[in-house]
Amino acid sequence: MKKFNRLAIILTVMLFFGASGWGFAQEVLRVASDATFPPFESVDPDTDECVGFDIDLIKAIGAEIGMEVEILNTAWDGILPGLINGNYDAVIAAMTITEARLEAVDFSDPYFNASQVLVVRKDDDQIKGLDDLAGKVAAVQIGTTGDLEASEMDSLKRVARFNSIPEAFLELQNKAADLAVVDMQVANDYIKNNPNSAKIVGEPFTTEHYGIAIRKGREELLTKINAGLAAVIEKGIYDEIYAKYFGVE
């Protein structure tokens, strides 16, 4: 009778937690990302799944903290409002930690150092740096640091804003814009895949840090993600992911 009661208790607990086999179901971490920003996040055309540096990183963090990661491809202009509204638990999308964003959401410890650069067409010899932008049109992804920086460039004729960085690069190649303002690693990835179309001019002109955004009031989740990020770095997993996408540790 005692054996039956013990077995009944075990089965009840397993059913309650949705367990399979002898292990309990993992808690799901729902993470939004705007998959239009390679090599950090993009959609694999063969699998239709989100891939990239950020995706590998958050999945590695999830593994360290015992959470299954679900990626939700979300448009950039609504990604933080969706987080604040509780549509998902976190955002990883090559998002720069800024004072303005910190007023709305919390961020993990920084996980990537980035800079803004100027990208022009390969055959453009007029623009060599920030001093050559008078009367020019800059293409950017709306709401990004590139957009914010371009908006401060008073010598520009106009800032053309797009929902995704591929659209901004297309505007550049169609000669409807003279330059694009974008994160250096994204520019490098685009040039690698389009070597005869574009080039970076001048030097990187900002210093930025990417973080994982989390809704305010979720300190426990923030602590877990920071612990997972620290473990991924300490174990060398971060270096492996970095080398996969950028060729060096």
Domains of the chain (ranges plus CATH)? 22-113+209-246 (3.40.190.10), 116-206 (3.40.190.10)
Instruction: Please state, as a whole number, how many other Cβ atoms lie within 10 Å of the Cβ of residue 243.
Output: 11
Report yes or no: 209 and 112 within 8 Å, Cβ to Cβ.
yes
Give the per-residue pLDDT at 6: 55
Q: Model-level pTM greater than 0.85? A: no
User: Which residues make Cβ contacts (< 8 Å) with residue 106, sequence separation at least 6?
Assistant: 213, 214, 215, 216, 218, 219, 222
- Name the nearest CA neighbour of 124 among 142, 137, 110, 140: 137
On the question of pLDDT at 248 being above 60, the answer is: yes
Give the pair of three-digit tokens for residue 230: 């620290």
Give the pair of three-digit tokens for residue 167: 């659209």
On the question of pLDDT at 189 being above 60, the answer is: yes
Which ranges of the chain would DSSP assign to H, the alpha helix? 2-16, 53-65, 79-84, 99-102, 145-151, 165-173, 184-193, 219-234, 237-246
Mean pLDDT for the stretch of residues 52-63: 98
List pLDDT tens digits, range 5-32.
554 544 444 444 444 343 445 699 999 9
Evaluated on CA atoms 205, 209, 213, 215, the torsion sign reads negative
- Rounded to 10°, the helix 165-173/184-193 angle is 60
On the question of pLDDT at 125 being above 50, the answer is: yes
User: Which residues make Cβ contacts (< 8 Å) with residue 43, sequence separation at least 6?
Assistant: 35, 49, 50, 51, 73
Complete edge-to-edge strand list for the sheet that includes strand 41-43:
36-37, 41-43, 50-51
Report yes or no: 62 and 228 within 8 Å, Cβ to Cβ.
yes
Give the per-residue pLDDT at 180: 98
